[in-house]
Amino acid sequence: MDLAMRLREGTKHAHTAAENTAFMKCFLKGIVEREPFRKLTADLYFVYQALENALDEQIHHPAVSKVYFPALRRVPKLEADLAYYYGDDWRHQIQASPKGLAYVDRIQTVARENPALLIAHAYVRYMGDLSGGQSLRHIARSAMNLPPDQGTGLHEFDAFPTVESRRAFKMTYRDALNAIEVDEATAQAIVDEANLAFQMNRDVFHEMEEDVRAAIGDHVFDLITRQDKPGSTDRTPGHSSVELVAA
């Protein structure tokens, strides 16, 4: 079963929609406000905690175990990020947003009722952090003028420090997905769950938008967010979106 291709193809519209959220459009233009950024970091901390606890519990599951890679673990990185943004007592200061809670809840439900669907949740977050997340990291660092080694741990993978090593690992991850033996119905359920995971990421972004709008004002916010652009995973392989637009 070519689950890697099924996931990429089956979620490309959801990916394009995520890139075209107002929050991401502003982000890509270098508008990264500290308050919504740290709120998002807190939400992702709760999401990854749920996900990584669930993956640990399913370490012997025949399908989930195939994509069990401790080198991906994000919780310790997010803890360091939160200590930077909120201070030493960050645990008492943070709480999940309503949509962040819904996302956590969904991961916990899936873990209980149909653990194979955890594959979808792991795919959406980890492959995203290894891909577009790398650009977001650079933008966040320069926009918030962060001190070296602080604040962007989410997108730092000690085991994969270079572009080449991340690219190679993404191939390993796709091979692992393809080695999972699933029937057609399960494969479709995993793709559907991945689309839901994208939707839940978009929902969390939407909650951050008002902070961004307040920081930059209605006019600039509308200018930046009114046009959509082609998606990064929704194009012919080997062509940049710039080439596609020009074609």
Residues in contact with ligand HEM by CB under 6 A are: 7-8, 15, 18-19, 24, 28, 123-125, 127-128, 131-132, 135, 170, 198, 201, 232-233
Closest CB to ligand HEM among 45 and 123?
123
CB of 125 to ligand HEM, least distance (A): 6
CA distance linking residue 161 with residue 48, whole number of Å: 21
CB of 138 to ligand HEM, least distance (A): 11
CB of 201 to ligand HEM, least distance (A): 4
Closest CB to ligand HEM among 93 and 188?
188
Whose tokens are 């890139």? That residue is 19
Closest CB to ligand HEM among 100 and 132?
132
CB of 14 to ligand HEM, least distance (A): 8
CA distance linking residue 68 with residue 76, whole number of Å: 17
Closest CB to ligand HEM among 24 and 196?
24
CB of 88 to ligand HEM, least distance (A): 29
Closest CB to ligand HEM among 34 and 170?
170
Closest CA to 111 of 74, 63, 58, 60: 58
DSSP-H helix ranges across the chain: 3-10, 12-19, 22-28, 34-57, 75-86, 90-93, 98-113, 118-122, 128-130, 132-143, 163-178, 184-216, 218-225, 241-246
SS3 of residue 29 by DSSP: coil
> Cβ-closest residue to ligand HEM?
132
CA distance linking residue 5 with residue 174, whole number of Å: 8
* Number of other CB atoms surrounding residue 158 within 10 Å: 9
CB of 139 to ligand HEM, least distance (A): 9
Count Cα atoms within 13 angstroms, Cβ side, for 221: 16
Closest CB to ligand HEM among 90 and 123?
123
Closest CB to ligand HEM among 83 and 143?
143
CA distance linking residue 144 with residue 36, whole number of Å: 12
140, 32 Cβ separation under 8 angstroms: yes
CB of 117 to ligand HEM, least distance (A): 15
Tokens of 152: 């962007």
